Chains A and B, each alone.
Chain A
Amino acid sequence: MQISTRRNGKITIFDLSGDIDFANSPRVRDSVLREIRESLTPRVLVNLSQVRYIDSSGVASLVEGLKASRDLGLRFILFGLSTSAREVLQLSRLMKVFEVYENEEQAMAS
């Protein structure tokens, strides 16, 4: 699993790739929460297009990112959902809880 962070003006973008499972989801959680709290950009985008697999602990990390963002008055946005990411969010009934966009352009323009 790889996680990298970009900044585009007042937007923070996380690029996640590979498999997010119980072995590495704590790293995702810590990175996302730290960056949200330190950068305080009004919008936080998470790119899931290269996520091959994500388990319930990975979903939990995203929920924590959403909650932390809401607490700080920030928007937490997912885009480019891979097949695995879309399936687990649908199974969890979280598709309507998150702001979700097809791609980065749409998420940036939102």
Chain B
Amino acid sequence: MLALYSNPKWLSVVRGAVAPLSKTLGFPEMQCRSITRAVDEALTNIVRHSYGNRLDQPIAMYFRRAQRRHDGQVQQGLEILLCDRGPAVDPCKLQGRPLDEIRPGGLGLHFIRQAMDTVEFTRKGPTNRLRLVKYVAQGNSVL
């Protein structure tokens, strides 16, 4: 578990933790980068949209092993849960913008969805919970 505040200065620290964690779990380099990018973008969204750029709000991150049956085989993975206490998020706003529009912004959700096998947003009591899961390709897992 990692507890931090909503100050963007912590983004690099989290990237510095997620990248080697992904590598240790057996993800190939490219997926390590995409998982790290997804977590970074998710945290940025919390800072910007959930907390309105306030720097002192709590964020909790949980990392644990995930497992699923896929094509008749058990597949191991990494589950990352990000929790914040901002206002409830309208799920309709979690779609991202069309990529054929050339304008700044709105790309973070695409990066998250591209990287992860599961992207689930739920609200539990006063907490927004974003669950991200990525599974390791067969044969690569060291879990």
Does chain A have a CB within 8 A of B41?
A: yes
Does chain A have a CB within 8 A of B88?
A: no
Does chain A have a CB within 8 A of B110?
A: yes
Q: How many residues of B contact A (CB 8 A)?
A: 26
Mask of B50-63 contacts with A, CB within 8 angstroms, 1/0: 00000000000000
Contact partners of A69 in chain B: CB under 8 A = none
Cα-based distance from A61 to B44 in the complex (angstroms): 15
B107→A92 contact, CB < 8 A: yes
A23→B40 contact, CB < 8 A: no
A91→B111 contact, CB < 8 A: yes
Which residues between 44 and 60 of chain A lie within 8 Å of chain B, taking CB atoms? 53, 55-57, 59-60
Q: How many A-B residue pairs have CB under 8 A?
A: 65
Mask of A75-92 contacts with B, CB within 8 angstroms, 1/0: 000000001100110011
Does chain A have a CB within 8 A of B102?
A: yes
Cα-based distance from A19 to B10 in the complex (angstroms): 13
Across the interface, A56 reaches (CB within 8 A) one of B11, B41, B102, namely B41
Contact partners of A61 in chain B: CB under 8 A = 104
A33 to chain B, nearest CB (A): 11
Q: How many residues of A contact B (CB 8 A)?
A: 22
Known: A84-B33, A91-B110. A22 touches B100 (CB 8 A): no
Cα-based distance from A53 to B112 in the complex (angstroms): 15
Known: A63-B104, A92-B99, A97-B102. A22 touches B111 (CB 8 A): no
- Residues of A that sit less than 8 Å from B by CB: 19, 21-23, 53, 55-57, 59-61, 63-64, 83-84, 87-88, 91-94, 97
List 16 extra interface pairs beyond A22-B44, A53-B37, A60-B105, CB under 8 A: A21-B8, A21-B11, A53-B40, A55-B37, A55-B44, A56-B105, A57-B108, A60-B104, A63-B102, A63-B103, A84-B33, A87-B30, A87-B33, A88-B37, A94-B102, A97-B102
